[in-house]
Structure 1
Amino acid sequence: MDAPQQSADGQVYVSLAQLMALEFAARGLSFIARQPRASLLSGNHASHLRGRGLDFDELRRYQPGDDLRHLDCKASLRSGTPIVRTWTEERDRPLLLVLDQRMSMFFGSRVSFKSAIAAELAALCAWIGLKAGDRVGAVVFDDHECQCLSPLRSRARLQAICATATRFNHGLAADVPAGDSRQSLDNALQRCLQLARHDHLVCVISDFAGASDTTLKQLRQLRAHNDVLALQVFDPLALDLPQQGRLVISQGRLQVALAMERQRIRQPLSDFLGGRLKDVAHLLRRSQVPLLMFSTALPAAAQLRLELGRLRELKP
């Protein structure tokens, strides 16, 4: 059953038209090409991303200047003349998006909700992939459902991904019961493993709430045969709690006001929120998956442009 359509303001709930319009914001962005020298994705493909491989093209006679390492000994012996193998660059590298729309993402203290920023990031990444000529697919999940769209090179498939993201996004509401965050995240990554056998670029867009040792194992399995990027969405409240005043927290029906000037209230909350970010960073370091961080206080497109052009030093 389709989720009831919420009023799409672009900050709490996104719209299909909004995600499709991000085609223009994605112009000039690339996961591998023409990045600044300090970029996480700069250099040749072997540095941070595998890039596209080589496909065998044909056998032909040796010509002066050909690389002797490409000589085909068996073919040369059969023909009695030097024969070399030629190769063409494989142009297709499927992009698989893993989009988190769990209840843990339905939160925001500044401009947007984490769920809305995540949906925008998924659309931006999809446009980047399609413009590069790659097939694009997605695994979209919430606390109770997971939908997979296999990679295809078509605008229709991209629109289907954006429509699915919008449907899941509109299914979030304060009175929707949360499920097992850990299990739903791991189930989505397991579905991703089934789709991305090898040579995919996998972008996991999530707050990584409930990440566990199972999550770590799955990320390592994905990384063994694919390129994986973690796009972590966070709220600035986790980094900078107010020192004074009352912080009102609500889940829709009930709300509580916390006196932030009281140390015994502010400190445990700060430790809890900040600790979750540190735990995720530590897990991703162990998985050796590059981490790109996105705040709910800033536009998704501007942050993606910055993150793709900036080297993040992952401390051991």
Structure 2
Amino acid sequence: MVSTQSQPLQDVAHWLTQHHSDGINLSIRELLYYQSKTSLLDLSPRKTIQAKLAGTYLAKTKGRGMEFDEARHYQPGDDIRAIDWRVTARTGKTHTKLYREEKERPIFILTDLSASMHFGTRFLFKSVQAAHLTALIAWSARKRGDRIGGLLYNQDQHLEYKPLTRQKAVLSLLSGLMQLHQPNQQRPQQLSFSDACARLRRLARPGSLIFLISDFSQLNDTARQHLHRLGQHCELMAYPISDPFEHSLPSVKVPQLVSVTDGNEQRTLLLGEKQTAKQYQQRHQQQTEAMVHLLKQCRCQVLPVSSAMPLEQQLANRR
């Protein structure tokens, strides 16, 4: 493991030791760490809450909630128990109290732990960073009192979690991360990102806040269609996770051939050759722009995350 451009090697080693991580494998202690970092995320609703169940969020619609909104003239059919007698006495005309409905907003986290996520040249594997982000979102939702559900998957299997409000929901999710983080590399690819999106459509209810954590290397037209349907009734937050090596080839003094793999195919790259490096960077930039364009078409808010530096540092800088 090499140092990042912003962090010397000794700082990287100190961070990993302090957070009980080696950057490759997952430990429960490094996931529990984010319970104290919930202030890094703002989970306030950005869209109208469309859920039908009562909860803690004020909706724009009027109804029988706890939060007083306004008083208006009495209309035939209004509940006489809602008459505002003070305003009625002051104006001489019958007025009715209106309240803001309070609705719930379940939170779903889709976390990709497939083969392409088990890659990293600096600091952490993308899969480890994805697990850190999943833990942070889950703890933040728990602190707000939101119901937390999730769908975790690798190329072998998936785990589904129905939304719950108890701390047990977070711990179950973290346990699932630990379970799926070590896929069976001997088996052929069975599950894909589009499969996970299809399952998520059956799990998520209108009004949910959905976090998508992946490198989106398998984002195809089928997945886009599923996400487009989800985006019509839910709020989508996409966190593309990438490694610096995927953006540009490292510079070397002496040209050399290296072998690389995406988890499925293996190829060789020539390092130290300017034309190869330029073509590599341009191709990745085009792929990234296409991926972001597709996600935004599905009404996703796109927030890129790097595996090359601590998650809390990136979120603090973003805020």
Return the TM-score normalized by structure 2: 0.76
1:120 aligned partner, one-letter code:
H
Question: Which residue of structure 1 aligns with residue 17 of structure 2?
Answer: none
Give the match for residue 23 of structure 2.
11
Q: Distance in 2 between matches of 1:76 and 1:133?
A: 31
Which of 1 and 2 has higher RCO (CA within 8 Å, sep 6+)? 1
Aligned CA distance change for structure 1 residues 58 and 184 (closer, same or farther; 3 Å): closer
> Counterpart in 1 of 2:293?
282
Could you tell me how far apart the structure 2 residues matched to 1:58 and 1:263 are? 64
Q: How far apart are the structure 2 equivalents of 1:139 and 1:289?
A: 18
Per-residue deviation at 1:25?
A: 1.8
Residues 1:226 and 2:251 aligned together: no
State the Cα deviation string for residues 220-241 of structure 1 (Å, max 9, x = none): 1111111110011011122232
Q: CA deviation at 1:212?
A: 1.1
The answer for the alignment partner of 1:103 in structure 2 is 115
Check if 1:138 corresponds to 2:150.
yes
Matched pairs, number: 277
Corresponding position of 1:73: 76
Report the structure number with the largest CA radius of gyration: 2
What percent identity do the matched residue pairs reach? 24
Equivalents in 2 of 1:20, 1:234: separation in Å? 23
Asked if 1:198 is matched to 2:222, the reply is no
Q: Output one character per residue of 1:3-51: Cα deviation in whole Å (capped at 9) or x when no partner.
A: xxxxx8341111122112210122353222xxxxxxxxxxxx5xx4335
User: How far has the Cα of 1:302 moved from its partner?
Assistant: 2.4
Q: Does 1:217 align with 2:220?
A: no
RMSD between superposed Cα atoms in Å:
3.2
Q: CA deviation at 1:268?
A: 4.3
SS at match of 2:303: strand
Tell whether the 8 Å contact from 1:72 to 1:85 is kept in structure 2 after alignment: no
Cα separation, 1, equivalents of 2:79 and 2:211: 44
The whole-number CA distance in structure 1 between the counterparts of 2:43 and 2:290 is 26
Q: Deviations over 1:181-231 (max 9, x none)?
A: xx6111111111111121110000000111111121111111111111001
How far did residue 261 of structure 1 move? 2.1
Q: In structure 2, what is the Cα distance between the partners aligned to 1:76 and 1:106?
A: 59
Residues in 2 aligned to 1:306 and 1:49: alpha-carbon distance in whole angstroms = 24
Counterpart CA distance in 1 for 2:27 and 2:247 is 29
Q: Please give the alpha-carbon distance, in whole angstroms, between the structure 1 residues aligned to 2:294 and 2:149.
A: 25
5+ residue gaps, structure 1: 1-7, 33-44, 310-316
Name the residue aligned to 1:114.
Answer: 126
1:274, 1:79 → 2: CA distance? 59
The answer to which of 161-170 and 281-290 deviates more is 281-290
Distance 1:77 1:121 in 2: 50
Cα gap change, 1:92/1:177 in structure 2, threshold over 3 Å: closer, same or farther? Answer: same
| 1:265 shift after superposition | 3.9
1:49 equivalenced with 2:47 (yes/no) = yes
- Offset at residue 269 of structure 1 (A): 3.4
Q: Give the letter for the 2:244 counterpart.
A: P
SS at match of 1:111: coil
Between the aligned partners of 2:170 and 2:207, the Cα distance in structure 1 is: 20
Corresponding residue of 1:298:
309
Closer/same/farther in 2, CA of residues 77 and 270 from structure 1, 3 Å limit: closer
Tell me the distance in 2 between the aligned counterparts of 1:153 and 1:178: 36
Q: 2:277 aligns with which of 262, 266, 273?
A: 266
Question: Is the Cα–Cα contact under 8 Å of residues 72 and 98 in structure 2 kept in the other structure?
Answer: no
Change (3 A) 1:303 1:88: same
8 Å CA contact 2:236–2:299 kept in 1: the answer is no
The question of whether the paired residues in 2 share the 8 Å contact of 1:106 and 1:114 is answered with: yes
* Residue deviations 1:155-176 (CA, integer Å, cap 9, x gap): 111000011011111336xx44
1:156 matched residue in structure 2? 168
Distance 1:29 1:67 in 2: 36
Q: Which residue of 2 aligns with 1:207?
A: 215
Gaps of 5+ in 2: 1-19, 50-56, 84-92
Q: Give yes or no for contact 1:248–1:258 (8 Å, CA) kept in 2.
A: yes
Query: Does structure 2 retain, via aligned residues, the 8 Å contact 1:124–1:301?
Result: no
C-alpha contact 2:41 2:137 (8 A) present in aligned 1: no
Q: Deviations over 1:124-152 (max 9, x none)?
A: 01111111110011100111212110110
1:110-130 CA-to-partner distances (Å, cap 9, x unmatched) read: 111100000100000111111
| Shift in alpha-carbon separation, 1:107–1:82, aligned structure 2, 3 A | same
Q: Determine the structure 1 residue equivalent to 2:87.
A: none
Other-structure match for 1:312: none
Q: TM-score, normalised by structure 1?
A: 0.76
Distance 1:76 1:276, change over 3 A: closer
Q: Distance in 2 between matches of 1:163 and 1:79?
A: 48
Is residue 186 of structure 2 the alignment partner of residue 179 of structure 1? Answer: no
* Residue equivalent to 2:178: 166
CA contact (8 A) 2:155 2:183 kept: no
User: 2:220 & 2:180 partners in 1: Cα distance?
Assistant: 24
SS at match of 1:285: helix
Rate the CA distance shift 1:191–1:304 in 2: closer, same or farther, 3 A.
farther
